Structure 1
Amino acid sequence: MNKDIIQKVRDQSPLIHHLTNQVVMNFTANGLLSFGGTPIMAKAEEEAKDMASIADGILLNIGTITAQELPAMITAGKTANEKGIPVVLDPVGVAATPFRTSVVKEILNTVQPTVIKGNAGEIAHLVEIPWDTKGVESIGDGNSVEIALKAAETYQTTAVVTGETDVICSENEYLSNNSGHPILEKITGAGCLLGSILTACLTTNEPIEQQVLTAVEFYGLVAEYAADYSEVSGPGTFFPHFIDALSFEVDKLEKLN
């Protein structure tokens, strides 16, 4: 983990333009604010170009995508590419329906993502590797490294495959992260918020592998720390401690270990 990346985010408070799903907006905004970034949620096509033009990073999350929202995502993504700011694509539930698959294909045909982040089932679907899924969840088993490598090569991007072990692949090399806690699987939008924090980390001027690894490692460490509170007995009591811990210094979080 590169602690300088986290400090730079907190010093600069980058504006992250979220075109994300309805379910997670509040959680994502509060989580990013706690971490140190500045969120804005804007999905209107009429302002997508203007909003992306003033942002420091763009998050495209298709969790509750509609046909009417797709043009705004493409406009924001293309504007970000022209401006040279990071774009994170989170293809939530891409394997669930043909509509979601077509949406992500259209985005990838017109926007160059800096990072594609998803669970193994989602990323496997993008590179036509068989993997069992259930709605937006990945329930299969296989080689996450193979999936990440193929996605990075296919889409000329950095691929992040999340799971019990997170796998990060860029330019035929991969890194892994084992921090985290199973309770995250019981929190709606945990992966979506990770996408937001990842986008914020990408706004720093550090190597992309360090940016991505720092985001996922810090996020997992926060979950471990929050889950360790004696009063945490399930997802409901975990939730506020997790939001709090996103604002903590790395040294404080590491004392748990």
Structure 2
Amino acid sequence: MTATPQSIWNDVEQIRSQSPLVQSITNFVVMNNTANALLALGASPAMVHAEEEVADFVTIASALVVNIGTLDQNFVAGMRQAVHVARNLGKPIVFDPVGVGATPYRNQISRELLDLAPPTVIRGNASEIMALAGLNARTKGVDSVHGSSAALDSALQLNAELGSVVVVSGAEDYIVSADQVATVANGHPMMTKVTGMGCTATALIGAFVAVNTNSFQAAVHSMAVMGLAGELAARRSPGPGSLQLNFLDALYQLTAQDVAAHLKLGQL
């Protein structure tokens, strides 16, 4: 196993000490949530999407996160420009194909972005990963109608096609590379009642790939921290409203002891 409680904690300490700038071209629904999650973890968010300035931010960012949740022409123009510059500069790119498979336009933009630059990491739910791999999976808006294990073959296919680490999130997360599949079983069902938790996971991956050049390990670390924070937050949350607040506190207060005591990591 390439990830351990100590390796996870090493990355958390690096994020807290370096405060890497994570440029997030994300959707209107989650901008505040994901920016606050990055800050709570210790990273520095830049929610910049205008075509006129994305290139300038990519040059100073440590990682680029692209999330297609609320597409329009201006967002897409900024995404294309940012991905192009990140590819040329060798900056890590994290891609979240929110709702892919739901509409032809969403499918088209996803394929354009993948063709422009293979992402360092792709994260989606099972339906999104299956649709992205071309298996015509059914989606229900941005919600998955499949369990995460159902998308394992699709994740392997995407990895073979693009070389990207592929993360399938769900009750159990699967992190897939060419020669390794890790599982993370941390988290809590109440997390599905808070909008944008998947998008938050993608943003956190951006922070971890900013400090760890082993993209598979970084993806495992980020999903572990995401699940741990959600699990710890749920213990003191009577409902999803308080969970959202307590999740940020759990990220901010996370300790090495929390990781060592509660980590549920496996390997296929």
> What TM-score results when the alignment is normalised by the length of structure 2?
0.91
Residue 245 (str. 1) matches residue 254 (str. 2): no
Q: Give me the CA root mean square deviation.
A: 1.5
Compared with structure 1, are the counterparts of its residues 239 and 205 closer, same or farther at alpha carbon in structure 2 (3 Å cutoff)? closer
- Please give the per-residue CA displacement for 1:79-104, whole angstroms capped at 9, x wherever unaligned: 11111111000000011111100111
Contact 1:5 1:206 in 2 (8 A): no
Q: Distance in 1 between matches of 2:163 and 2:261?
A: 38
Q: Tell me the equivalent position of 1:131.
A: 137
Matched, 1:193 2:200: yes
Alignment of structure 1 residues 110-121 onto 2, 5 Å: 110-121=116-127
Residue equivalent to 1:145: 152
8 Å CA contact retained: 1:167, 1:174:
yes
* Distance (whole Å) between structure 2 residues aligned to residue 149 and residue 114 of structure 1: 14
1:6 matched to 2:12: yes
3-state SS in 1 of match to 2:73: coil
Q: In structure 2, do the counterparts of structure 1 residues 255 and 204 end up closer, same or farther at CA, with 3 Å as the change threshold?
A: closer
Structure 1 stretches of 4+ with a deviation exceeding 3 A read 254-257
Q: Distance in 2 between matches of 1:71 and 1:160?
A: 26
- Which residue of structure 2 aligns with residue 174 of structure 1? 181
State the distance in 2 between where 1:206 and 1:49 align.
22
Q: Does 1:163 align with 2:170?
A: yes
Query: Does the 8 Å CA contact 2:126/2:169 hold for their aligned counterparts?
Result: yes
Gaps of 5+ in 1: none
Q: Which amino acid aligns with 2:190?
A: I
Tell whether the 8 Å contact from 2:27 to 2:69 is kept in structure 1 after alignment: yes
Contact 1:42 1:48 in 2 (8 A): yes
Change (3 A) 1:155 1:134: same
Q: 1:250 to 1:130 in 2, by over 3 A?
A: farther
Query: In 1, Cα distance between the equivalents of 2:216 and 2:203?
Result: 17
The Cα offsets for residues 9-60 of structure 1, whole Å up to 9 and x where unpaired, read as 1110000111100010011111110000000111110111111111111000
Change (3 A) 1:61 1:204: same
Aligned residue in 2 for 1:103 = 109
Tell me the distance in 2 between the aligned counterparts of 1:93 and 1:103: 12
Shift of residue 112 of structure 1? 2.2
Deviation at 1:250, TM superposition (A): 3.2
Q: Is 1:41 the equivalent of 2:53?
A: no
Per-residue deviation, 1:233 = 1.2
1:144-194: CA deviation from partner (whole Å, max 9, x where unpaired): 321211111122211111111111111142111111111111111111111
Q: Which runs of 5+ in 2 are unaligned?
A: 263-268
Q: Following the alignment from structure 1 to structure 2, what is the Cα–Cα distance between the partners of residues 255 and 102?
A: 43
Q: Secondary structure at the match of 2:65?
A: strand
C-alpha distance after superposition, 1:131-155 (max 9, x if no partner): 3320011113462321211111122
Higher mean C-alpha deviation, range 145-154 or range 16-25:
145-154
Which residue of structure 2 lines up, in the alignment, with residue 56 of structure 1? 62
The one-letter code matched in structure 2 to 1:44 is A
Residue 203 of structure 1: SS of its match in structure 2?
helix
- Aligned ranges for residues 58-97 of structure 1 at < 5 Å? 58-97=64-103
Alignment check: 8 A CA contact 2:96 2:199 kept: yes
